[in-house]
Amino acid sequence: GNSVTQMEGPVTLSEEAFLTINCTYTATGYPSLFWYVQYPGEGLQLLLKATKADDKGSNKGFEATYRKETTSFHLEKGSVQVSDSAVYFCALSDSSGYSTLTFGKGTMLLVSP
Amino acid sequence: DGGITQSPKYLFRKEGQNVTLSCEQNLNHDAMYWYRQDPGQGLRLIYYSQIVNDFQKGDIAEGYSVSREKKESFPLTVTSAQKNPTAFYLCASRNPLTGASNTEAFFGQGTRLTVV
């Protein structure tokens, strides 16, 4: 079956540091890949997505590139802010007709001033 | 504004009681989902529905029930058979029916259920 593996957190950084959160996946066919963000006490919001190999998703300074050869979709940001503190979830949707979303366990990011 | 609404935000249940969590969407999405979130475990799928009057069990359906009588609504009942119901519950919706893999899910704000 499908699965998503994320690096365990928390990831603790100082403001303006470089961020990488690793995500690898196992899936059949050609899945679409997503990063969601969850702020405390709230639901999930889509951060970015990529739908085919070598696509790069980007939003609010965050980027992730769909690497089929390494089955990875690592999240990066060049300079984090305190307001980026949240839990980040990597997810995939496979190409079957009635697919559901499969999520990783989430990685908490804590950014200090 | 289009969106997905969960209510209530906080819910307290006595042991042995059934409770129902509401989820309504006005996005005209065919597919709806219920996830349970526990610390350190990510999101686990409880039930999902691809079309009105049809739904399927997810990975952790035991102790839960759902209905899908209207496209806009997908309520979740936590029954007394659920042994550890305290958790954060998230509802989501998605389109289209054909399940194109590149469409993202939209989430509600969640309901925090506590057994007292």
DSSP state string for chain B: ---EEEE-SEEEE-TT--EEEEEEE-S--SEEEEEEEETTTEEEEEEEEEETTEEEE-TT-TTEEE--SBTTB--EEE-TT-S---EEEEEEEE--TT--TTPPPEE---EEEEE-
Residues in A closer than 8 angstroms to B90, CB to CB, are: 43-44
Q: Point out the residue among B101, B108, B109 whose CB comes nearest to the CB of A99.
A: B101
Asked if B2 and B27 touch (Cβ cutoff 8 Å), the reply is: yes
For residue A88, what is the enclosing H or E element?
Answer: strand A86-93
Q: What spatial distance separates the first Cα and last Cα of chain A, rounded to whole Å?
A: 41
CA nearest B109 in A: which residue? A43
CA distance A18 to B64: 42
Section B104-116 average pLDDT: 93
With a cut of 90, say whether residue B101 has pLDDT above it: no
Q: What spatial distance separates the first Cα and last Cα of chain B, rounded to whole Å?
A: 36
Share of chain A above pLDDT 70, in %: 96
Q: Do A49 and B102 touch (CB under 8 A)?
A: yes
Q: Which of A101, A105, A107 to mutate to test the interface with B (most CBs of B within 10 A)?
A: A101
At B88 the pLDDT is: 95
With a cut of 70, say whether residue B5 has pLDDT above it: yes
Q: Which of A93, A94, A95 to mutate to test the interface with B (most CBs of B within 10 A)?
A: A93
Q: Do A103 and B43 touch (CB under 8 A)?
A: yes
User: Using one digit for the tens of pLDDT, what is the confidence trace for A76-105?
Assistant: 999 999 999 999 999 998 766 566 889 999
pLDDT category, B38, cuts 50, 70, 90?
A: very high
CA distance B44 to chain A (A): 8
Asked if A63 and A49 touch (Cβ cutoff 8 Å), the reply is: no
